[in-house]
């Protein structure tokens, strides 16, 4: 539905509120948040606290957030996707290596040539975005 047309004017697009809630949780970095904190961070006076809890419950069911009990409240945090978890593991392995160049060389020797090509493209795009030649 398009905003501004008819009786549904002001309604959010399907999934938009979920994306906003996830953005709030990701912005909190590693700190878990209560539903009330998420509601406050959204800064949307027209949005009820109960609606935020419903969205958090839906995201929990989809596996996009984790929930833990803290006193009488629940704390929510975003769940990294598989690629983010793998990238974090790779960074930890690299950080443990005494000779980082040797670790990276071993990685390049071990990956498929097609993956190496993708890595080169990603590095080139990263350099371009950061103003490097």
pLDDT digits (tens, 9 = 90+) for 44-73: 989 999 999 999 999 999 889 999 999 999
What is the reported pTM?
Answer: 0.58
User: Which positions ≥6 away from 31 have C-beta within 8 Å?
Assistant: 77
14 lies in some domain: yes
In a domain, 45, yes or no: yes
Task: Tell me how far apart the alpha carbons of residues 61 and 64 are, in angstroms, rounded to a whole number.
Answer: 8
Task: Determine the pLDDT at residue 10.
Answer: 55
Whether the per-residue pLDDT at 6 is higher than 80: the answer is no
Whether 29 and 62 share a structural domain: yes
In this prediction, residue 14 has a pLDDT band, given cuts at 50, 70 and 90, of low
Domain housing 67? 6-78
The pLDDT assigned to 63 comes to 87
* pLDDT level of residue 13 (50, 70, 90 thresholds): low
């Amino acid at each position: 539905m398009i905003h501004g047309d008819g009786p549904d004017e002001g309604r959010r697009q399907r999934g938009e509120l979920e994306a906003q809630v996830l953005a709030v949780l990701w912005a909190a970095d590693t700190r878990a948040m209560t539903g009330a904190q998420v509601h406050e961070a959204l800064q949307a006076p027209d949005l009820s606290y109960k609606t935020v809890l419903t969205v958090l419950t839906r995201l929990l069911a989809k596996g996009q957030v984790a929930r833990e009990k803290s006193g009488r409240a629940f704390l929510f945090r975003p769940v990294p996707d598989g690629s983010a978890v793998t990238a974090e593991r790779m960074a930890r392995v690299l950080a443990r290596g005494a000779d980082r160049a040797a670790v990276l060389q071993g990685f390049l020797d071990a990956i498929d040539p097609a993956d190496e090509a993708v890595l080169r493209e990603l590095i080139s795009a990263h350099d371009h975005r950061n103003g490097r030649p």
